[in-house]
Amino acid sequence: KAGVTQTPRYLIKTRGQQVTLSCSPISGHRSVSWYQQTPGQGLQFLFEYFSETQRNKGNFPGRFSGRQFSNSRSEMNVSTLELGDSALYLCASSLMGQGVSYNEQFFGPGTRLTVL
Amino acid sequence: GQNIDQPTEMTATEGAIVQINCTYQTSGFNGLFWYQQHAGEAPTFLSYNVLDGLEEKGRFSSFLSRSKGYSYLLLKELQMKDSASYLCAVNNYGQNFVFGPGTRLSVLP
């Protein structure tokens, strides 16, 4: 079974631009969660999508948004990029979604975003 | 709120045993996961505990005490390749995962 894939793997943008990241979950998984990872803050939850609906949202500004398509693929968008948005963005897929018993998350390789 | 604590860094010698602790304060606890993350790579699943006690999986074991809000990951017969960050994450009913800050383990020859 193919794992979680994320594109692109690396991205360089400048302040003020916007960016869209893509995540394809493991086949059959309906939940996709997005995380931001930085050396100082660790792994921070952004949001979770399940069956095309956002179920949970972390404590990030509205510049961070996402969506999920009917095939469970998900995209994350960051508008008006700031220097502090430089991070590794990870997506994780799971079968049943967060908050459910034994809900192992499988992580993709991440997208390394650098904002100049 | 939810709060998860882990030591920031640990160092151990090849062949030794190391215990990485994780304490948490949360509501609606529904299980605790341990993940391993090598530098520049994605986290990978190590273990899951939802009931009190020890879960053993080869060289790795994980323990949970729900009443104390405490878990540990035990790594035996350490190898150089075990140098990585170890993340503890709590799963709560109807809520998102919360990850601890991670413990960076360095295994020395």
- A42: Cβ contacts below 8 Å, ≥ 6 apart: B87, B99, B100, B101, B102
* Mean of pLDDT values over B13-24: 97
- A81: Cβ contacts below 8 Å, ≥ 6 apart: A13, A14, A15, A16, A17, A18, A19, A115
What's residue B40's pLDDT? 85
User: Looking at A3-7, A38-42, B58-62, which range is the least confident one?
Assistant: A38-42
CA-based Rg of chain A, rounded to a whole angstrom?
A: 13
Q: pLDDT (tens digit, 9 = 90+) per residue, B66-108?
A: 999 999 999 999 999 999 999 999 987 767 788 999 999 999 9
Q: What's the pLDDT band for B5 if we cut at 50, 70, 90?
A: very high
Q: Are A35 and A91 in contact (CB under 8 A)?
A: yes
CB contact under 8 A, A105 and B45: yes
Return the structure tokens found at A80: 């008006």
Is pLDDT at B2 greater than 90 in this prediction?
A: no
CA distance B2 to B25: 6
Q: Which residue has the tokens 């997005």?
A: A34
Distances (CA, A) of B68 to B22, B29, B52, B64, B107: 11, 12, 10, 9, 29
Give chain A's mean pLDDT.
91
Identity of the residue in A33, A99, A108 whose CB atom sits nearest the CB atom of B94? A99
CA distance A21 to A75: 5
* Mean of pLDDT values over A29-50: 90
Nearest Cα of chain A lies from the Cα of B79 at a distance, in angstroms, of 24
Q: Which residues pair with B87 in a beta bridge?
A: B35
